[in-house]
Every structure is written in C-alpha cells, then in structure tokens.
Amino acid sequence: MSELFHECGVAAIYFLKGQGSSDLFNDFEPDDAASLIPRMLSDMQNRGQLSAGLTSYMEGRGQLLDTHKEIGTVSEVFRYSHTAKHKSLMQKYAGNAAIGHVRYATCGRDDHSYAQPFERHDLVKSEWFSFAFNGQLANYNELSDELTRDGRHHLARQSDTEVIMHEISRHNSGNGHFALLDMMSKISQRLDGAYSLAYINACGDMLIARDPLGIKPMCVARRGPLIAAASESVALVNLGFNHREIISLKPGHAMTIVDGEVRTERFANSPRHAHCFFEWIYFANVASHLDGRSVYMARTRLGAALAEQEKKQPLFNIDADTIVVPVPDSSRAAADGMAYGLGLPCREGLIRNRASGRTFIEKNQEQRIQQVKLKYTPLPEVMRGKKVILVEDSIVRSTTLQILLKRVYDDGEAAEVHVRVACPPIVAPCFYGIDMSTMDELFAPAMMSEGIMTQSVEQAMATKLGCDSLRYLPVSAIADAIELPQAELCQACITGDYPTPGGTKMYQIALEHRGKGTTRAFDLPNCRPANEPSQTNKMAVEDSKASANIAAAHKS
C-alpha cells in the first residue's frame, strides 16, 4: 500500500464571537482559532504530504481573507522547527475562522499554485472566497470543455479544483449576498464524483459540505462557540472534542455559518450512499471513526477474516516456527486480528524508518526503489528461519511489495514468506480521488485473465511476487468488517461497479484503452499537454520493467 495514495484532507475552524468562551484551551482568544488549523492538519498528514495551507478570516483586516500555502509537510509549511517563525506566521494569519488543506497528487507536484486552499479575490465581499477540496470529479473533462468553449474563461491549471472554483464563481457573480446552501445545491447538480469541501468568504460566512453519495468523509463537532470540521475525527478528538460531540456529516448535507447562525441542512438528494471502503482499510488514521464505524475495529475484523480463511483452507503447515508480521504501519491492526485468530505471535519483523522520506513523490523508478529499500529495515533476529505470514493492506502495482519481499528473504533471513492481503484484488481504476487511474498500472487484472480469482491464479501471483503463497480476502469480507451493507459502500476498484454515471463512463474508456499505453481521457485530473504521457502511465511502464528485474533477481 506504500504505492497507493490519497488526494487530500480538509479542515475548518470557526469561533463564534459574542457567544461565550471555549473551555477547550487555556487563555484562548477568538482570533486564535486559525492557529488550530496546523494542529488539525498534522493529525491528517497521512492523507497528503505534498503541500499544506490555510486561509484565515479576520474582520477589519485589510486582507479579510489571507492564504498561506507551500509545498511540503505541515511541519515544514508552518515552520514547526522554528518557534519564532511559527509564532510569526500564526500572528500574521490570525482570525476567528479558517480552513486548511493537506495534499497529495501525481501532477503539479512541484508547483506551488496547485497547493490548496484556492482563494479567489473580488471587490465584492460575498464573491471573494477561498475553499479546500478533497476528492475528484469523474466529469472533469466535460466541465472543463464547457467552461472554456466560449473563449471567455481560462483554466490556468488542469485540475478539478479549479473547475469547482469557476463553478462557484459563476454562481456567485452578480448574485449579491446569496444563500450558501443554494450555491451548493446549484453547483452539486453539475458535479459527478466525490467531494467534501470547506468554503469561506470575505463576509465571514463558512460552508462545510459532503457529496450526495458520501464517498469522501467529513466530520463536524461543536462545543459552545467553537465549531470544527475535518476529513477525519481524530483531528477533532485531539482538539479536545469527545466522541459524543463528533458526528459525520450526512451525505448531501452542508453545515453553514452565516451571521453567527449555525445550520445543517440538505443541499442535494441522496438516493444511495457509497462510502469509500478504502478509508477504513487504509487511508484514515487508525484512531478515527467515520460514519459511526471505528477504523481500528474494521481493520482488526479484516485480520480475523484472514485467520478464518487460513483455518478453513490452509495453504501451508502452520507450526511453532510460524509468526505474523505486519507491513507497517496501517497493517498492524489486521495483523493483530489475524495472529489472535490463529493463536500465533504477532512480531515487528519490519521497522519503518520515519525519516526515509516520501517514496511516492520520487521522480523516477530507480529513486522510488532506493527509497523503498531505505523505508523498512527487516529484523533477522525476529524472522530468521521462520515461516512468516506477511500481512499487507492491498496490492496495487506490486513493485514495492516485490522489493520488500526480497529484503525479507535476504536481510530478514525468513525461511518462508506467505503474503496475506487484508483486501480483495484491485481490478479497476479509481476516478474518485485515489491515485490509481489506469488499468495497465494494476497488478491483479493482468494476472486474472478471466476476471476470476482462483487458487491457481493466486499461486501464479505468488510466483510473480516472489513469495511462497498469496491469499486475498473476498469482496464480502469488506462490508462485514466495516459493518455497513455492501450497497452503502463504493467498492468500484474491487468490483468494477461505479456509483456515478461519470465513473462508469470513465471505466469503459479505461477498458477500451487497456494495453494501449496512455490516454488523456481516463487519467484525470492531470497537468500535462495532451500528447505527454501521464505520470501514472510512466510509473506503470517503469514498474513493469522493474518487476521483471526484481523477479529475475529473486530467482537467481
């Protein structure tokens, strides 16, 4: 799963002036609210490590809205290592309301202008706004073509965030002090895909919204005059809110704060729910609760399901020399659940180097492979001569896992390695905000010639990966672990069944272009000329070459 990355995380904070004081912080002043955004973003750093930023609102300030954003981690962007610089930043961007964002993307990675929030200046206060967005639009092409067709509009960046900014601007233009809920209702009718967003304007009005299907998470909390929202509940818990105060915003609903009045209302019909299951099995912080479901417990139940599989149909002889080892960090809960179910020890055979850097934004395959080698240190004193059950979250492109397996054998001195995956095989791209947008880059589809997973297919996969055996979970295990009906989950990447027309259309285009190298149509959003191969396709080509080299090295 170190090959798979989310787009971003969103945060918002609002202190209602004149409505009492907050008991969450000592010596807390209303205009200190914006200083809480970096803390919240730090708790969601798992959702994006490429850039970070905030926009604050301060009544009476020349810049009613002011934005600070840079390329880098939260600690880098907000100067955590330099107390005086951090304090100066927080003073400059002080305000009683603010929104924040952490980002990961495969495009525009070194471009400051792609960092969020996106702020749009205007002389009219209600039309001067900033917003932060988590998700992806499956109908990006249609919207961008429509916007630019008349020659009057221009997209400076080829990203769906800018498309949403134009949609908001078009609605706001000339409308005076419009209703935020009406704005959200109107633009949502044009958006196909996944989104949660935080919006603030120069009047001091704020809106927190979640897409009608609830694909992306959004949690909100309130205590007295302090209101907070974040993509994950852990960011709110660590501010001091308790679990009873934190709720998940319902799909198709928005919280608005206008003239000191807080309201939560529906802006769009929600005929069904389609929560992204990957939030529970990988993306979300293990301490978070999303839609009332614990991330930790869901992952533990996935591990228990792996144990039940092993009991019913063992693929090797489990004995006193067998141990369970997680691939750090997010596999730990699943590994614990599997080990407990089998009565085996769960050992830390792989130590993650926290200072190894961000392997997913390295510019070429050679650098990525080198970074993977530095990221984990196998412990031979734990794995030497053992039968290792290596628990992994998922297999997307497989290159990282192949490198890791070679190290477990060579450096960890394991006698056998049996990979158990706490997820079904990834068989289709994601068009809703996860970094896997082409068929050719995925490991499983090429191995599943008839689209069916069998024991012989799993063994062929194990041979290609370079391990003794491999087993995935079935699709049914996901809903059981999360404790939500399958009909309320988006499982498109493991079933090929997309919850929106745009996603279905993109999947058909992806299938048509399978094996043809690259296509502009289904690698969205992107930031390259139409004739330039996408970053993900470049990686796919490099990965296929690397896979062959790794397999050859392992056999030798």
Quick: pLDDT tens for 359-388. Answer: 444 445 566 667 777 789 999 999 999 999
Out of 24-38, 162-176, 487-501, 510-524, which region has the weakest mean confidence (pLDDT)?
Answer: 510-524
Whether the predicted pLDDT of 530 surpasses 70: no
| 433: confidence class by pLDDT, cuts 50, 70, 90 | confident
Give the best-scoring range by mean pLDDT among 99-113, 190-204, 348-362, 521-535.
Answer: 190-204
**Hunting for tokens 């008991």 — which residue is that?**
23
112-158 tens-digit pLDDT: 888 999 999 998 899 999 999 999 999 999 999 998 888 787 888 87
Whether the predicted pLDDT of 180 surpasses 60: yes
Residue type at 467?
Answer: C
The per-residue pLDDT for 159 is 84
The per-residue pLDDT for 355 is 62
Q: Which of 8, 107, 203, 490 is catalytic?
A: 8
- CB atoms inside a 10 Å sphere around CB 217: 26
Tell me if residue 527 is catalytic: no
The pair of structure tokens assigned to 206 is 């704020």
Which 8-state DSSP code applies to residue 247? E
Whether the predicted pLDDT of 26 surpasses 60: yes
Task: Return d(Cα 431, Cα 205) in angstroms, integer.
Answer: 31
Backbone angles phi, psi at 181, to 5 degrees: -65, -40
Whether the predicted pLDDT of 96 surpasses 90: yes
Q: How much of the chain, in percent, has pLDDT values that exceed 90?
A: 69
Is the pLDDT higher at 511 or at 252?
252
Out of 52-66, 200-214, 368-382, which region has the weakest mean confidence (pLDDT)?
Answer: 368-382
Give DSSP secondary structure letters for 256-323: EEETTEEEEEE-S--SS--EETHIIIIIS-TT-EETTEEHHHHHHHHHHHHHHHHHHS-SS---TTEE
CA dihedral 300, 304, 305, 310 (to 10 degrees): 140
Whether the predicted pLDDT of 305 surpasses 80: yes
Mean confidence (pLDDT) of the chain: 87
Whether the predicted pLDDT of 554 surpasses 50: no
The per-residue pLDDT for 369 is 67
Task: Return d(Cα 152, Cα 370) in angstroms, integer.
Answer: 47
Residues 219/264, Cβ–Cβ less than 8 Å: no
| 290: confidence class by pLDDT, cuts 50, 70, 90 | very high
Ranges of H-type helices in 128-220: 140-148, 160-172, 180-188
The pair of structure tokens assigned to 228 is 């907070």
**H-helix or E-strand containing 102?**
strand 97-103
Out of 105-109, 209-213, 410-414, which region has the weakest mean confidence (pLDDT)?
Answer: 105-109
The per-residue pLDDT for 549 is 46
Is the pLDDT higher at 176 or at 382?
382
The per-residue pLDDT for 177 is 65
Determine whether 245 is exposed, middle or buried from the number of CB atoms within 10 Å of its CB (0-12, 13-18, 19+).
middle
Whether the predicted pLDDT of 102 surpasses 90: yes
Is the pLDDT higher at 453 or at 368?
453
Total length of the chain: 556
Angle, to 10 degrees, between the axis of helix 160-172 and the axis of helix 180-188? 130
Mean pLDDT score, 520-531: 36
The per-residue pLDDT for 156 is 85
Backbone angles phi, psi at 497, to 5 degrees: -100, 105
